Structure 1
Amino acid sequence: MTRLVKKTHKKVYHLLGVFLIAGYFLALASFAWQVSTQQQQRFSLIAAIAPDLERLNQTHSLNEVLGQNVISQVILQDRIVFEQTAGSEWVLKQITLAPQLSVVAKPVWFQVVSSPIFWLLTSGFGLLLLITVKRSYQFIDKALAHVTEIEHWANSAIVQGNYPAVTTEHPIGYAINHLRKSMLHAQNQDSLFDKAIKESALLDDETGIGNKAYFNSRLSALMAEEDVRGAVYIIQCQGCDTIHSLYGHEQAIHVVEMIIQSIEKRFENRANFYLARCQEYELALLVPHVFVKEAEKLAQQILKGLLNIVLPVGINKDDFCHIGMSYFKSGDKAFQVLAEADMALRTAQLQGPSQWFMYDDGEIAHESAKGSLKWRTFLENAIRNNSFVIFFQPVIERFSDNILHHEVLTKVRDEKGELISARVFLPMAKKCGLSAPIDLLVFKQVCKLLTYEQDKQDCCSLNLSVDSLLDKSFIEKLHYELKQYPQIAPRLIIEISEYQLVNHLTELKPILFKLTLLGVQLLADKVGQYVVSAQYLKQLPIRYVKLHRSIVMNIEQKPENQVFVQSMKILCEPLKVKMFALGVEDQNEWRTLTKLGVQGGQGHYFTEPIAQVAKAIGH
């Protein structure tokens, strides 16, 4: 619409310009005609008085009569009878008035151009044209300001797929907002369809939102559409279990209702979203027609809103809730989307405090996206068949480039022979209660490998989950294995997440001290991922700390991360704790880290993880 109006305005402006220019040239022609008439009058006068011109010039001043600075010479019978300075000699022109009579004078066009009247006329025209153009554009912009804003709103709404309220004060804006409210009301009103849902028991009795069956039906219907896209969020509030234990069921449900209100408030301006209660303290949210970046932003906003909820005394917000997110598009299957969201939730829980998580696009193959029951069956078979493959990635010493030790990385082989990374299967192992058996199996593999290669003195580090370390049966089996291989224990380094060390310090302290008595060394992993107290270094026999990749990434450009590393160095040096860095990708990072006192590095800058064929395994 604005384009059409501006195009029309442009045509009107061109037409107005034509009229102004025509007027200008008409005025100019009139002025030139006057100048030409005056010149002809001068020439007639000169022709009349030519014989007496020389005598009159001696007795009278003819400059004013013949034109000041216009007539330069009058030539009669090849003799100059009148002469004055006319200036601008380069434009002077000789004009014959009669036989034996001619004049040297300025041409009419030059008289016109050099006249103040010409410049006044031209300046006035230019100023008038400029003012006309400027005022007309200002008028059009002002007149179309509201329409332009509404057009921008419409274009943005089409691209983003949602229709927020129009803020412009214009009748069109009022009409759009009225229609929008009517649409939202029509979509959210208690229609016959909603009554049918209630009658068919698709709503949760305690909260009034949809239940699991409602959510699954909505997701399946949406996935059947063409060109669909969106996100599924699984929100689990573990803190509600604690609230239930301390304050009772009613208080826990009250907190769940506040969570629902927080989410609904976040989406109050969005027409389409589906919220359901799938388990006691687990909600599922379906948001169609969003792009990945918008979906990630929504996850951050949802988490921020949940962490602002006022909780009862004694409930820790840091571990209150976790969100698993899965993005889907046309061609995906509903059960795979739900399975991936559930796996993302377990990963978020495994990583530590309240947070959200989503796997990168393509990180999980469709075959790997399974429900909990299938994961349990798959992992139990993998443990039974020893389908775990170990890799080694070296930690390189600064300056010398010697290998300090190797970290053990684990993958599991699926039914098709493809390898699944620990980042994918470990969260599901935790959910299925299989962390300890997997950790023990990998630990045994490493011990056998080190026994087979006794001529080498390289140390190995491997991650053990806090669930395994707090499992009494696992610790007993671990002690048994270490006693079977006493020469291996000094070559073993156990890595434990810093966050888990801090949060389970009291329970882990005696367990870790007993392990060190057997010769095992301890490493605090993922240091700096979360803001926690480093006092555990003084309370536990930690030999090494490993910086999280978020601290290492582009550290040469991040002064705040450099200050963090310097602070860790000050803490570690008196305790004789060595500091390593994980995720070193390039020379600039490594150079900066070594200057800051990091003693070892690990990452793709040095080498890719190397698969080890452990000949001892299987014997």
Structure 2
Amino acid sequence: SFKILLAKNLPALNYISVKLLSAGNLAVTIKHIPIIKLELYIERLNFCALTICKKHQKHLTAKNVKIGLCNYRASANQTLVYQQAKSALTLSQQSPLQHCHRLGISHSRVNIFSNNQIIKSIKKNKFVIYFQPLFELDSGRILQHEVLIRVRGGANELLLANAGINQLDNDQDAFLFDQAIIIKVKKLLLADTSAAIISISLHPKNWFNKAFWQWLITQVSDFKIEHKLQFEINAADFFKYQIRLQGVLKIITKLNYQIIIDGIKSSDHIIQLVNYPQVLGVKLAYDLVHSIEASAHQQSCVKNIVNACQLLNIAVFASDVETKQELQMLTILGVDAAQGFYFTQLLPDFTQTVFH
């Protein structure tokens, strides 16, 4: 019944599938949505779902009908698609105001491993370090290289960034994971004669692990002055646990390193960064970057973030840039630097990649 009513209310769509999941949720799949009309169809889907539900229970309001969405391309792993949609639904359910939440799958989110597979691969050294350069938009200069890793497991391969490392759920695994990455990065830095700035996304648990930071201090003691590390932390964790992070921030200042706050979705908390000179820049959330040229709401959010950061002399970065249209709009809005598969594939070592 839901499928029939949905098709009736969205006649322009030629493929709609509806499944009832074991958890009691309805999973709706809609194919061939034009990127430029993505936000429009999300609004229509939200309205249709509420309208259909109210036909059966007239007392329902918008806050009673929650939707989580995942937009993806045809080659995406379906398990990951369902997980992203479920995560989006959880965020929607937790919000008293936002009843419809979307999480997209970027080009880099290509597969999914279990925790045991990831740790097993790390212990056996079955992972490879790659680097993604961050380009300054007005000059094309490479500002830094972000570390990404590929974990190998049989015939499968997983590219890990924040979305992957966050699934490790205990302190020991988190410590082991970041430890292995930093040791490899250290070897590469010490073997390289040129100046380099490397950005590493630390597991959330390690930000609060004193043993990890004590270990890190011993590891970087023989770095040259031109070898610098930057550490990325998720925006939700940073703003929620500012008090607990004070000790770590002092260590970072002492080491002359800096922080990048990842996953910024709005300008709401930017003013708080006035008290944190360790923060070099912020990275826009993927949801703000993806297809930004087609969304006035995303453009407004990014412009507000840029304006707030300019007052504090904090740079604004965009990751997961995949199209020329996205880059052009981000440049117009005043974003300082960007990275993603639009510019270059991942690099196996430091290189002066030509900006185009």
TM superposition shift of 1:543: 1.1
Counterpart pick for 1:567 among 277, 290, 304: 304
Counterpart pick for 1:611 among 317, 329, 348: 348
C-alpha change, 1:508 and 1:348, in structure 2 (3 Å) is farther
Any idea what the Cα deviations from partners look like across 1:313-355, whole Å, max 9, x if unmatched?
xxxxxxxx99899xxxxxxxxxx97x996797689889xx767
Query: Which whole-Å CA distance do the structure 2 matches of 1:154 and 1:595 have between them?
Result: 42
Query: Which whole-Å CA distance do the structure 2 matches of 1:474 and 1:562 have between them?
Result: 39
Any idea what the Cα deviations from partners look like across 1:58-80, whole Å, max 9, x if unmatched?
xxxxxxxxxxxxxxxxxxxxxxx
| Percentage of identical aligned residues | 23
Query: Which whole-Å CA distance do the structure 1 matches of 2:295 and 2:25 have between them?
Result: 37
Residue type of the alignment partner of 1:482: V
C-alpha change, 1:604 and 1:378, in structure 2 (3 Å) is closer
Q: Which residue number corresponds to residue 40 of structure 1?
A: none
C-alpha change, 1:407 and 1:347, in structure 2 (3 Å) is farther
Instruction: Find the residue that maps to 1:467 and give its secondary structure.
Output: helix
TM superposition shift of 1:379: 3.0
TM superposition shift of 1:432: 8.1
Check conservation: 1:556, 1:588, Cα contact below 8 A.
yes
Query: Matched residue pairs, number?
Result: 301
Check conservation: 1:544, 1:577, Cα contact below 8 A.
yes
TM superposition shift of 1:392: 1.0
Q: Which residue number corresponds to residue 248 of structure 2?
A: 511
1:478 maps onto 2:326 in alignment: no
Residue type of the alignment partner of 2:169: K
TM superposition shift of 1:557: 4.2
Check conservation: 1:346, 1:427, Cα contact below 8 A.
no
C-alpha change, 1:398 and 1:159, in structure 2 (3 Å) is closer
Query: Which whole-Å CA distance do the structure 1 matches of 2:234 and 2:2 have between them?
Result: 49
C-alpha change, 1:603 and 1:385, in structure 2 (3 Å) is same
Q: Which residue number corresponds to residue 537 of structure 1?
A: 273
Matches within 5 A, 1:215-230: 230=19
Any idea what the Cα deviations from partners look like across 1:582-605, whole Å, max 9, x if unmatched?
233333433333333222121222
Any idea what the Cα deviations from partners look like across 1:472-492, whole Å, max 9, x if unmatched?
22121122212242536x521
Query: Which whole-Å CA distance do the structure 2 matches of 1:291 and 1:323 have between them?
Result: 10
Instruction: Find the residue that maps to 2:177 and give its secondary structure.
Output: helix
Any idea what the Cα deviations from partners look like across 1:442-477, whole Å, max 9, x if unmatched?
122112111111x22131111112211111221211
1:397 maps onto 2:245 in alignment: no
Counterpart pick for 1:524 among 250, 261, 273: 261
Query: Which whole-Å CA distance do the structure 2 matches of 1:322 and 1:473 have between them?
Result: 41
Query: Which whole-Å CA distance do the structure 1 matches of 2:29 and 2:2 have between them?
Result: 22
Q: Which residue number corresponds to residue 589 of structure 1?
A: 326
C-alpha change, 1:524 and 1:159, in structure 2 (3 Å) is closer
Bigger radius of gyration: 1
Residue type of the alignment partner of 1:230: K
Residue type of the alignment partner of 2:148: L
Instruction: Find the residue that maps to 2:199 and give its secondary structure.
Output: strand
Residue type of the alignment partner of 2:220: L
Query: Which whole-Å CA distance do the structure 2 matches of 1:595 and 1:154 have between them?
Result: 42
Matches within 5 A, 1:103-502: 156=4, 230=19, 232=21, 284-285=23-24, 291-293=28-30, 375-416=114-155, 418-422=156-160, 425-430=164-169, 434-453=173-192, 455-485=193-223, 487=225, 491-502=228-239
Check conservation: 2:135, 2:142, Cα contact below 8 A.
yes
Check conservation: 1:345, 1:357, Cα contact below 8 A.
no
Residue type of the alignment partner of 1:538: V
Deviates more, 1:398-407 or 1:551-560: 551-560
C-alpha change, 1:340 and 1:157, in structure 2 (3 Å) is closer
Query: Which whole-Å CA distance do the structure 1 matches of 2:304 and 2:6 have between them?
Result: 50
Any idea what the Cα deviations from partners look like across 1:180-205, whole Å, max 9, x if unmatched?
xxxxxxxxxxxxxxxxxxxxxxxxxx
Query: Which whole-Å CA distance do the structure 2 matches of 1:491 and 1:291 have between them?
Result: 47
TM superposition shift of 1:526: 1.7
1:547 maps onto 2:292 in alignment: no
C-alpha change, 1:509 and 1:322, in structure 2 (3 Å) is farther
Higher-strand-fraction structure: 2
Query: Which whole-Å CA distance do the structure 1 matches of 2:3 and 2:332 have between them?
Result: 52
C-alpha change, 1:466 and 1:564, in structure 2 (3 Å) is same
TM superposition shift of 1:155: 11
Residue type of the alignment partner of 1:517: K
Instruction: Find the residue that maps to 2:256 and give its secondary structure.
Output: coil
Query: Which whole-Å CA distance do the structure 1 matches of 2:150 and 2:133 have between them?
Result: 17
Check conservation: 2:104, 2:287, Cα contact below 8 A.
no
C-alpha change, 1:340 and 1:473, in structure 2 (3 Å) is farther
Check conservation: 1:346, 1:431, Cα contact below 8 A.
no
Query: Which whole-Å CA distance do the structure 2 matches of 1:497 and 1:429 have between them?
Result: 15
C-alpha change, 1:437 and 1:600, in structure 2 (3 Å) is same
TM-score where L is the length of structure 2 = 0.68
Q: Which residue number corresponds to residue 237 of structure 1?
A: none
C-alpha change, 1:230 and 1:519, in structure 2 (3 Å) is same
Mark the runs of 5 or more structure 2 residues left unpaired by the alignment. 9-16, 32-41, 54-59, 71-77, 96-100, 351-356
Query: Which whole-Å CA distance do the structure 1 matches of 2:318 and 2:299 have between them?
Result: 12
Query: Which whole-Å CA distance do the structure 2 matches of 1:157 and 1:591 have between them?
Result: 39
Any idea what the Cα deviations from partners look like across 1:177-232, whole Å, max 9, x if unmatched?
xxxxxxxxxxxxxxxxxxxxxxxxxxxxxxxxxxxxxxxxxxxxxxxxxxx98354
Query: Which whole-Å CA distance do the structure 1 matches of 2:69 and 2:294 have between them?
Result: 31
Mark the runs of 5 or more structure 1 residues left unpaired by the alignment. 1-152, 161-227, 233-273, 275-283, 310-320, 326-335, 370-374, 614-619
Instruction: Find the residue that maps to 1:608 and give its secondary structure.
Output: coil
TM superposition shift of 1:419: 1.4
Query: Which whole-Å CA distance do the structure 1 matches of 2:293 and 2:2 have between them?
Result: 44
TM superposition shift of 1:402: 1.8
Q: Which residue number corresponds to residue 201 of structure 1?
A: none
Residue type of the alignment partner of 2:274: K
Residue type of the alignment partner of 1:448: K
Check conservation: 1:324, 1:341, Cα contact below 8 A.
no
Check conservation: 2:136, 2:143, Cα contact below 8 A.
yes
Check conservation: 2:122, 2:151, Cα contact below 8 A.
no
